Structure 1
């Protein structure tokens, strides 16, 4: 375990950051947007002429579109500069159009900030990294209080990166010039940022931890999409009646079908709050439906029959949900004290131990172990003779990396044994 960095050796925090130099435009100007296959081939050739890792970013249209596809890809490489690529409207085979770039990108490390957000949409374009460096994740491991790109660029490079279009509708065409300037700046200093944060991790003795995290992220395969995604409807906890839960499910499913077909974000079709409200009120006529908030608008009036049909299906279905919970693991921790007090005591002890460890190694608790892994361990735990080896096996099965297990197994074992002793003394 590395020594806890002293205040003198830690990178200055937000209260001591030097005055930043504004970074308003790329040093070489905003490159032309590669739109056509011939443009994309030239971009690939240009990238191939450079050396070293690739700084990469992608812009999506979250909140506007149903899909999570990339609507712009930005890539920068030493000796080649920056390229901006429009990956849409390439007919039936966009992978073939993007293949020249994907081939070049397979030749060296990728540098991304918050890679888990961009890797899936880049993979849809046939682009996968041979190795990976995530500067946001590196910042978390370094114990930085703020890890967004602008904050880290200011902290480590002394530059002020102006943000402003990250939440824009990047499916818009043509893309405005100021948006392209913003997009190019997102990769302008990623290579330098990688070097700076890597130096901090090296000083803290965390380089190997980061390498394990990056490789896990690079090779991670997401679980199949759950069938009961409707249970994540905001405000569903207010719905208790099984028939009303069925109405939430039917309304959500109808909305999802429309959103998928039209490639529009579901919330722009019908807000979650309207789904919960209609499921609770259960109107059975158009007049009653449009009297509810949201449903009285012109757009919702045109779709009124769709929502009424969904509510009618909920009234007749025999497949009634029994709970709004996904039922895929332990219940929310707030309920443990009532339902399983011994598990609540274990969780409290484990959380206290991890919080202390987090302070000692200057890494957030959630990066030491995912909260879900901690809850599952504490909920199902049964005392065993060799606590440490069983915990080790559990964490390995849950996907915890070697560095995480090395740090947390002794802490977890001690906490679980202490909780078991306290429980036994009360019997």
Structure 2
């Protein structure tokens, strides 16, 4: 594999892109910082094929135009591990979500490695290589980058190349590549990476404990915080904490003095910001009832239903085990509840999830099959077939 080193000039970038021009896929990773900012700061882009590898310094370029062309080329597959954060930072940098993509974390979940297996653990499991992670918390914005940082960065795509080849081969052998495509299409939807002021209240921890009118106030407060964080390029929690937002939404203060006395309000908050908070409280308080955010309308499960879902989860694990796939990749407990309730959009009624587990679980829930224990394993007995053979259900 030819190492192009750290690319920080347009000439070097053109040479690398020319070298990989005919590759149908490329492994991609990014290093970024966002601990002190709202927007992630892209600090390094690593790319590799089977024959070439490079670290590209985006801080050295005013325009990454040629690189954008590659990232958005529909004929070139972009390979990531745990792609969502990389896709977000590249979307913000280039204005488009890279596509098409292959996420080795998702692919691994379809092969029994767990739903959110980490990169180092997956490299160890598949390639029997232990990665050095000592640089994982390094400051990628500082220049010059050290030799240790660059080695760490290169390894993140060097072994990603090998992972992709191994996982793709195994998926193809099992006929599961078609399972992967809907998951990848979902990852590249632009709306996933766009700011949502109206829905910001849903990210406030503890919002489910509020009443509908309080949620209307929280909606305005969370939208204000999101705007402030974005405009100042600061983390949301630096503007005001979730706990403080919840308290304000519950108490709905109308005076600056009352607001300033509240626990959790940031020290040194200015008069302008306090007035804006009070305006948000007033707007939310006066919102017509029909516009209030709707809390979850799902009724709690009855005790008997909880038992059914518990058994359904056990069956899900067994059906997934038979297919050598992680049960978490197939469905969550909420998905089993949705199937039990007959919801039209239940994930287990569609695609490969139905094939792996949804169809069998559905038959059991409708009373067409029965639970049995055979040789220390649970399974399902088809009642119609059993009746036809003259068997009785134990």
TM-score norm. by structure 2 comes to 0.73
Aligned-pair distance for 1:212?
1.9
- What secondary structure sits across from 1:234 in the alignment? coil
Aligned-pair distance for 1:151?
0.9
Runs of 5+ unmatched residues, structure 2? 371-394
Aligned-pair distance for 1:291?
4.0
Larger RCO, structure (CA 8 Å, separation 6 or more): 1
Matched, 1:231 2:188: no
Preserved contact between residue 316 and residue 327 of structure 2 (Cα < 8 Å):
yes
- What secondary structure sits across from 1:253 in the alignment? helix
Give deviations 1:64-91, integer Å, cap 9, x for gaps: 433357443210122222232417863x
Aligned-pair distance for 1:138?
2.5
TM-score norm. by structure 1 comes to 0.69
Preserved contact between residue 82 and residue 104 of structure 2 (Cα < 8 Å):
yes
Superposition pairs for residues 340-351 of structure 1, below 5 Å?
347-351=309-313
> Match of 2:364?
415
Equivalenced residue count is: 360
Matched, 1:83 2:55: yes
Runs of 5+ unmatched residues, structure 1? 1-26, 382-390, 422-427
Distance 1:420-1:153 versus aligned 2 partners, 3 A rule:
closer
> Match of 1:257?
227
> Match of 1:9?
none
Superposition pairs for residues 32-111 of structure 1, below 5 Å?
32-34=6-8, 36-48=9-21, 53-67=25-39, 70-86=42-58, 90=62, 94=63, 96-99=65-68, 101-102=70-71, 107-111=75-79
Take 1:212 and 1:129, find their aligned partners in 2: how far apart are those partners?
17
Take 2:167 and 2:260, find their aligned partners in 1: how far apart are those partners?
55
Take 1:135 and 1:282, find their aligned partners in 2: how far apart are those partners?
47
Aligned-pair distance for 1:362?
3.0
RMSD, aligned α-carbons: 4.0
Take 1:313 and 1:394, find their aligned partners in 2: how far apart are those partners?
36
Take 1:303 and 1:41, find their aligned partners in 2: how far apart are those partners?
49
Give deviations 1:37-78, integer Å, cap 9, x for gaps: 444323312333x75631111234344433357443210122
Distance 1:292-1:260 versus aligned 2 partners, 3 A rule:
same
The partner residue of 2:5 within 12, 31, 40 is 31
Take 2:236 and 2:368, find their aligned partners in 1: how far apart are those partners?
45
Take 1:254 and 1:200, find their aligned partners in 2: how far apart are those partners?
48
Aligned-pair distance for 1:417?
0.8
Take 1:175 and 1:66, find their aligned partners in 2: how far apart are those partners?
24
Give deviations 1:317-351, integer Å, cap 9, x for gaps: 32167999755x7638xx2228xx76x56644543
- What secondary structure sits across from 1:110 in the alignment? strand
- What secondary structure sits across from 1:418 in the alignment? coil
